[in-house]
Amino acid sequence: MGRYDWIESYHQGHCSAAYRHFGAHPATHRGKEGWEFCVWAPKAKAVSVVGDFNNWDTTANTMKQRGEIWEGFIPDLKPYTAYKFSVIGADGEQRLKADPYGFHTETRPATASKLYHFKDFKWGDNAFLKKQEANPVYQAPLNIYEVHLGSWKLHENGDFIDYKDLARQLATYVKEMGYNAIELLPITEHPLDDSWGYQCTGYFAPTSRFGTPDDFKWFINHLHKKGISVILDWVPAHFCKDAQGLYEFDGSCCYEYTVPCMQEHAGWGTRIFDYGKPEVISFLLSSARFWLEEYHIDGLRVDAVASMLYLDYGREGEEWLPNIHGGRENLEAVAFLQKLNQMAFSINSNVLMIAEESTSWPLVSYPVDQGGLGFNLKWNMGWMNDMCHYLKLDPYFRQHHHKDITFSMMYAFSENFVLPMSHDEVVHMKGSVVGKMPGDYENQLRCLRGFYAYLLAHPGKKLMFMGPEVGQWNEWKSSGELDWHLLEKDLGKQTHQFFKDANAFYKKQKALWQIDFDWSGFEWIVADDNDNQVVVFARKDIAGKDLICAINFSPNVYSGYRFGCYAHKQYSLAFNTDSQLYGGDDVGQTPIVAVDHIPSHGKEQSIAVDIPAFGTVFFKGEGRLPKLRNKETTK
């Protein structure tokens, strides 16, 4: 293949490895070692490479134009040298731009790219990757701990912890707590801490806040060796308007839409990628591939998918243009997402491609050849919204909103869902997860335990943002760290122990994850007891073994609550959120419950159990219930 054979593919929107050509790469020209530079700037009049090494002289290292692409070579530069592209636009104005394909950057508030050479990193995660390949997510446990690296933990003086120390501490903690995956809020380089990474300037650069690109590889490698998957939040929906970024890169709308009414999310203050430009598609495909291939990332959670799918997203009246069929669907974005997912699965058949999609768009987690978008998982935003609404209600009024905890089963198997309780629900005056609960702090923790058990029991994979496991009642702030001091108190220690035990229980019970995506793994037993605010259902594994979950969302203790069950001889208590170990009262701690020949809820037999206030109890069936002889009567 010739040196420039990739260019045609790039201009057609098919190049998913453009980072191998664009940006800055070490090279030798005419016996001199140096760096090759390459950038796409179709409307530029002139482009040069500038930095301290040439006193920011725009005439010292000019680049040659090859169609819409500019190239240059500079000898004798050292790794970590800071540089930018000086781009003279069609309007004659100079713009200093960071490298769109730069692998490393200065640390904010500085904004230049830095030369970085990927050496042969010695990965040690082969055993982990093979194990993942042998255990596809569809019939495996997935319990995700969502993390913002800048506020999980800090040094005592408030400084960030670097990637390697974060890896050591986080891997130990996550493994101890029983999660098997982490999801990172975007670590793609971003200028503003308060954006949490969702307004990116470096689509190929892990943020330098915590170290170098190789340090981040070490981070991932270490978590993999500890058996923990790493999912990265990735933002192809929009980009920030910071001067050094993609914004009007060559003086024209280069990466964004050209039509003014379509080029910006006014509510977010960001520009929107133009999915009709093949070069933009190549850029985004290459970014996704870069993280999956170069960094061994296990999955991408694609942010704000709904904003990509709808041309009228966040717009009113005539502030948008319909597609060629007169509809509101962004056909180019749909094609991009399908192409993205097909590419991702061609790289790693076990990759997690997760859509944050908040509408009823059909077949999000279905393969492209079945008419789907091609993701294999989708956040269940409806469930999250319903639960947040329900949890904040005074218990008296919950009886009138019972559908908040049952309606999700009307569509639970329409997609491959992840049940998230994400960072978005613990900011902007929404309060922490604990803070959503009614009553005093001790009662709030009781509610938290019952709710978390319900989350683990409900069909779908699991995600919880950091904080509830220490009993955090303050709303999350990205500028501090979690309230680790709560673990010095008994309630904090007990809550921490609960999350460890609940996660271990989830991982051990195949019924809670082997069949997450169809009705054969779930059966309602009590769905309509809104007066008592109780739901009871069974989860089943592939072998047909059942686990009964009884959940009480009320402040009342129910003694002898009867519901139908399967024809087992008895049921043993498998887990109780009201254990004294967790700060509870030991209500419902009866270890064995006999099955009675009393019909209930469509079953020929039933059990009567005690259900604690705001609590959840799990029961496992044992043995076979003897059939009644003709002369026997029911108890």
- Residues annotated as part of the active site: 303, 356
Pairing of strands 238-240, 270-272: antiparallel
HSE (side-chain half, CA atoms, 13 Å) at 357: 27
Question: Are 183 and 231 spatial neighbours (Cβ–Cβ below 8 Å)?
Answer: yes
How far CA 444 is from CA of 54, 102, 430, 438, 586, in Å, comes to 61, 47, 15, 6, 17
Burial of 2 (0-12, 13-18, 19+ CB in 10 A): exposed
Question: Are 391 and 455 spatial neighbours (Cβ–Cβ below 8 Å)?
Answer: no
Question: Are 210 and 160 spatial neighbours (Cβ–Cβ below 8 Å)?
Answer: yes
Q: Give the Cα-Cα-Cα angle 294, 464, 160 (nearest 5 degrees).
A: 60
Question: Are 613 and 552 spatial neighbours (Cβ–Cβ below 8 Å)?
Answer: yes
Rounded distance between C-alpha atoms, residue 446 and residue 342, angstroms = 44
Q: What proportions of the chain, in percent to the nearest 5, are helix, strand and coil?
A: 30, 25, 45
Segment holding 280, helix H or strand E: helix 278-294
Rounded distance between C-alpha atoms, residue 42 and residue 420, angstroms = 42
DSSP-derived 3-state class of residue 415: coil
Scan for tokens 């040069």, then name that residue.
48
Rounded distance between C-alpha atoms, residue 489 and residue 216, angstroms = 34
DSSP-derived 3-state class of residue 331: helix
HSE (side-chain half, CA atoms, 13 Å) at 367: 5
Rounded distance between C-alpha atoms, residue 55 and residue 58, angstroms = 9
DSSP-derived 3-state class of residue 166: helix
Rounded distance between C-alpha atoms, residue 218 and residue 213, angstroms = 9
Residue of 5, 76, 6 lying closest to 34 (CA atoms): 76
Question: Are 503 and 495 spatial neighbours (Cβ–Cβ below 8 Å)?
Answer: no
- Determine the distance from the C-alpha atom of residue 128 to the mean position of all C-alpha atoms in its chain, rounded to a whole number: 20
Assigned token pair, 60: 């010292």
DSSP-derived 3-state class of residue 117: coil
For residue 461, the cross-strand partners are 418
- Determine the distance from the C-alpha atom of residue 146 to the mean position of all C-alpha atoms in its chain, rounded to a whole number: 7
DSSP-derived 3-state class of residue 286: helix
Assigned token pair, 257: 């839409």
Question: Are 565 and 608 spatial neighbours (Cβ–Cβ below 8 Å)?
Answer: no
Q: Give the Cα-Cα-Cα angle 439, 443, 444 (nearest 5 degrees).
A: 75
